Every structure is written in structure tokens, then in C-alpha cells.
Structure 1
Amino acid sequence: MIQLINNLPDNVVGFEVTGEVTKEQYEATIVPRMDELAKRQGEINYLIVIKTDLTAFTPGVWFDDFKMALKHFSKWDKIAIVSDQDAIQKLTSIFGFAFPGDSKDFSLSEYDEAVSWVS
């Protein structure tokens, strides 16, 4: 499930991910808000809190995420990934080199720091 995180600064869009994550959820929740933020701000500051295993993401989600990354390639400013999973933190390091902007991983206990950094 993907839920919008409210009460973030206007220049940040954030989501919390739990349980299974489907392509349909991704397209209905994340895509429109990313498009809106990129249009409104001219850049994307993105916070994602992942409280589920990577295996909970259906294959279509990974493809849509890649398309989103390319669609807004020059607009990525900061990406804060909050999770206690080593695999997710390793992916942050790997993909951080492939896209412009800064990305940083945080543990769940560092949520407030992540919000401050991405803002």
C-alpha cells in the first residue's frame, strides 16, 4: 500500500509504503503527485518511507519507477529514502550514481532528519 505523507513542506512530496505495492497503486498515487510537483516547483524533492520488503513490489512498479526517473531526469533535486532494510540502503547507493541530484538513505528512527535534509 502507498500512502501520501501529509504535513511536509510544499517543495517535498512523500510517501509511506507498507505491504504489497502494485503498479496500479503506483500510477494512481505517486505518478500524479510527482508530475504536479515537477510542474509547480521545477524540481523534485522526494521522501519515501519503506516499511515493506523489496519482494512486496510487483514487477510493474519497478518499470514505472524507472520510467518516472527518466521522465523527470533533469528535475531530481533530493531523494530521501527511509528504511531499516540493508537491501534498500544498498540500492540507494547504487542508483544514486545514475541520476542527477542527491540521494541519501536514513533509518526509520532518523525520519525527522530525513525530512529536514530533503526539504
Structure 2
Amino acid sequence: MIEILKGFPSNVVAATASGEVSREDYEKILIPAVEAAMAGREKVRVYYELGPGFVKMAAGAAWDDLKLGIGHYFRWEAIAVVTDHDWIRHAVDVLRFVVPGQVRTFHMEQAGEAREWIMSELHKSTIRLS
């Protein structure tokens, strides 16, 4: 399940995932939130939290995620992924170099730092592995 988080600027799509993320979650929740954030903007930022309750992403959701990412490829300004799932952190760390925007991973205890970073004035010199 995906839930959109409140309290972020309108240029940030903030979401949390728990349980199994389905294609319907993408189609009814995440994609409309991304499209709304992109309306009238050149770039957007993403805060994505996958906590201990996250189990997996269904195949249809993974396909929608790929289509969403590629479909707006040059419009991602920054992406913060917050999780303690090592396999997700490793996948993001490997793929960060093909994303034109800044990408950082954070542990769950760093969620506050991740939120500050995604809402901050970003500088290219801040790119680092966490």
C-alpha cells in the first residue's frame, strides 16, 4: 500500500509504502500525485519511505514504477529513499548514477534528515553515499 504524506512543499511528492505495493497503488495514488506535482513545474523531488512493514512490490507496480521514472526522466530534481531494507538501499545506490537528479539513501532513523534534505536548497556538492 502507498500513502501520500502531508507537510511537504508542492514540488515534493512524498510517499510511504507498507505491505505489498500493487499496480493499483501506483495507478490510483502515486501517479496522480506525481502528475499533480509536475503540473506547471520543470522539476520535482521525491521522498519515498519504505519502512519495516514494506514487504514487496508486485510485478505490475514495478512496471509502473519503471514507466513513471523513464517517462519523466529529466524532471527528477532529487530523490530521497528512506529504508533499512539493505536490498533496496543497494539497488538505489547502483542505479543512482543513471538518474539525472540527486539521489540519496537514508536509514529509517535518518528520516528527519532526509525530509530536511529533500526540502532544502540542493547543491551538487551534497551528493554522497549514506
Same fold (TM over 0.5): yes
Which structure dedicates a bigger proportion of its chain to strand? 2
SS at match of 1:79: strand
Q: TM-score, normalised by structure 2?
A: 0.86
Match of 1:35 in 2: 35
Which structure dedicates a bigger proportion of its chain to helix? 1
| Larger Rg computed on CA atoms | 2
Query: Percent same amino acid at aligned positions?
Result: 27
Shift of 1:99: 1.5
CA RMSD of aligned residues (A): 1.0
Q: TM-score, normalised by structure 1?
A: 0.93
Q: Is the 8 A contact 1:89 1:105 kept in 2?
A: yes
Q: Is the 8 A contact 1:47 1:118 kept in 2?
A: yes
- Residue 44 (structure 1) aligned with residue 44 (structure 2): yes
Q: What are the within-5 Å matches in structure 2 for residues 4-83 of structure 1? A: 4-51=4-51, 52-53=54-55, 56-83=56-83
Unaligned runs of 5+ in 1: none
Q: Is the 8 A contact 1:38 1:72 kept in 2?
A: no
